[in-house]
Amino acid sequence: QVQLVVSGGGLVQAGGSLRLSCAASARTATSYAMGWFRLAPGKEREFVAAINWSDHSTYYADSVKGRFTISRDNAKNTVYLQMNSLKPEDTAVYYCAAGFITGSRMDPRYWGQGTQVTVSS
């Protein structure tokens, strides 16, 4: 059973930072790539970032490159999304996902619960 537990999120001013966490079961952590997607009102779901467990490869959407960093803690089976220089357009519900890397994106197969990130101008 795939379990993804998300924490973090909240309200921050533009230019600020937030960190999201996604704790996975050990089996999930070693079987899948992990990543983040987001869904803003009136928009389609958007890939944000992903990381491979096996070789530490990371992948980012162009809109977040240079501002967001995805990382993992193998001992805790946890993936983090450090979000810096946040912009109002980053406002969305962020979802953790487990799946497979395809090209420079991720094909999600399992989802954690969403967490709201709101960036005020």
pLDDT, one tens digit per residue, over 41-97 is: 999 999 999 999 778 899 999 999 999 999 988 888 899 999 999 999 999 999 999
Strands (E), 4-67: 4-8, 10-13, 18-24, 33-39, 46-51, 58-60
HSE-CB for 36 with a 13 A CA cutoff: 37
Amino acid at 43: K
pLDDT of residue 25: 81
Q: Residues 37, 70: contact at Cβ < 8 Å?
A: no
More reliable by pLDDT, 1 or 114: 114
